[in-house]
Amino acid sequence: MLRQISIGVRIFLVIAVMILFIGGTIAAFLGNSSTIKEISVQQVNDRMLEGQKQKLQVAVKSLAESLGTLVASATDHHQQIEMISKAVADIRYEEDKSGYFFVYEGTTVVTVPPKPSLSGKDMSGAKDVNGVYFVSDLAKAAQGGGGFVQYVFAKPGSGDQPKLAYSQLISGTKYWIGTGIYIDNIDAAKAEVTSIIEDVVSSNTTWVLAVLIGILLVGVLPMSWLIVKSITGPIAQSTDAAGEIAGGNYDLHLEVKGRDEASRLQEALNTMASTLLQNIEEITIKTQDAEEKARAAEVAKAEAEEATLMATRAKAEGMYQAAQRLEQVVERITAATEQISVQVDEISSGTDVQKERLQATATAMEEMNATVLEVARNAGDAAQNAEGAQEKARQGAETVNKSVSAMNTTRTQTTSLQDSMNALGVQAEAIGNIMGVISDIADQTNLLALNAAIEAARAGDAGRGFAVVADEVRKLAEKTMTATKEVGDSIEAIQRVASDNISGMETAVVDLEHASELSNESGVVLEEIVHGTEESAKQIQSIATAAEEQSAASEEINQAIDEINNIAVETAKGVEESATALRELAEQASELNSLVNELKSEGQQ
């Protein structure tokens, strides 16, 4: 079916298919961008949630250890509750100060700083709008070694919001401490990251579309038009020339402007037309000569007949005079016959040479036809090779696209992890501030213990028991200061590690962005290679088709040469017949000469 369509239209069909392929690629790219955006947002959400969990866990564990050390020296239950309540009363975190610590004994409130009125109440029946008994669940999680509970809780100024809390037992006591953060803070950060990702994806998509459209309009379409003209133009000229040669017009010349297969074909057609024209002209000249010689032979024959009549008259009027006159006529006939015989021989030789040239031309045409067929076969093989290269390039492009997607995902995850590490650094600094507060409390406790010891010493024996208690309190304060210092050192180590990780993540993000850019450039180049190989394969296939069409035209020219050769053979036969007739005429002239001699003898007698 495609053979019914011109090569130019087929090439433009290839270009249309290529444009459709580019459109499909763009659609796939947009789909992948949307998928990457969704995955990135989910990864950011997961990373931020995980970071918040780590922050809650570290803060609760650190404060639980400090409170355990603080209340270890308390003499009664009431003193423990008072010490714990004072320690956590002023601790706040998060930008909106919605983060605080609460302490329970089982499900009974020890302290909830925002609502001091709840102290001493049993909250085992407290549940959220979803039916989650969050106090009971937090108590169970603490008894189990620590754990997370998610529930809905009222947030000042925002109504009910989802909240994530962590609880853990205070060392050496039956109390547990917990804290929680509102997840809407994470949602706000997630919305901000989503907006940034959408802006980046939109910008990249616009840039990619602009580049592809620019390449299509500036490079692909003009180049395709030039290639179509460079292929179809010479082939159309060659086809028209072959048709004119087959129709008998040999006086033509094609202008050759290149060195490709079509140009060589035009050169071969020019040479063939020139050779055929020269051969036809020589055949025409030889044929005209033969016709002239044949007419001369006819004239000689007429003169011979006239001589016969004159010989008959000579017998009546005078044998001798007639014989003399007849002898002159016979001599002229003999001379003319010899001259005609020589010219006929020359015509015969020229005809033989012309047949040889025609045979050589036919052989050259067969060789040229074989060459054209070989070009067609080679073009077919080249088309298959180009299709193989096209498939390899397409596979390479798919691999690079997958690598780009993986790198983009990794880059997004790394960026998210970098944000998490930044948040961890901030939370570690907040914990450091908390530990500073605890250290200040321990210092104040130590001073109070020293003052109490001094007052007990002044009281003498009456204050000795109180002095012992004050000394124990001072020792406990010193232990608290030591523990606080150790925790502070740990926090500083965490901050240093977090800082190092942040620096490493920044470097990794830069490297991943660079690798992603290089992979994107490789993808673009491979896409261009895929498009180039597709175009080359189709063009080579078109050249093979054109070569087959030219082979058919060459067959028609061979038939024309065979017809010319047949004409030359018939001309040669006519020349041979003319030579035979001349030889017979010469024999008759010789016999006539003998008769003339006899007449002369009779006339002399």
The reported pLDDT for the residue numbered 247 is 79
Give the separation between CA 93 and CA 113, rounded to whole angstroms: 13
What pLDDT does 111 receive? Answer: 94
DSSP annotation string for 65-93: HHHHHHHTT-SSHHHHHHHHHHHHHT--B
**CATH 3.40.50.2300 is the classification of domain 1-223:** no
Q: What is the pLDDT of residue 59?
A: 92
pLDDT on residue 413: 58
Instruction: Give me Rg for the CA atoms of the chain.
Output: 57
Residue type, 473: V
The backbone torsions φ and ψ at residue 76, rounded to the nearest 5 degrees and listed phi first, read -145, 175
Torsion over CA: 163, 164, 169, 170 (sign): negative
The residue ranges of the chain whose pLDDT is under 50 are: 400, 512, 515
Nearest CA-CA partner of 80 in 98, 103, 113, 61:
103
Distances (CA, A) of 533 to 216, 397, 521: 16, 13, 18
Tokens of 114: 């925002």
Domains of the chain, residue spans: 1-223, 230-391+551-604
Q: How many CA atoms lie within 13 A of 132 on its CB side?
A: 16
Structure token pair of residue 453: 């010891």
Q: Can you name the residues that pair with 165 across neighbouring β-strands?
A: 149, 180
Distance CA 162, CA 164 (A): 7
Nearest Cα neighbor of 205 from 416, 417, 408, 509 is: 408
With CA atoms as reference, report the closest residue to 351 among 100, 90, 566.
Answer: 566
Nearest partner of 479 among 65, 168, 64, judged by Cα: 65
426: Cβ contacts below 8 Å, ≥ 6 apart: none
**DSSP letters for 559-576:** HHHHHHHHHHHHHHHHHH
Three-state SS sequence of 512-542 = HHHHHHHHHHHHHHHHHHHHHHHHHHHHHHH
Q: Exposed, middle or buried, 259 (CB in 10 Å: 0-12/13-18/19+)? A: exposed
Three-class secondary structure of residue 73 per DSSP: coil
Please state whether beta strands 147-155 and 108-111 pair in parallel, antiparallel, or not at all (unpaired): unpaired
pLDDT computed for residue 285 by the predictor:
85
Q: Are 162 and 183 in contact, with CB atoms under 8 Å apart?
A: yes
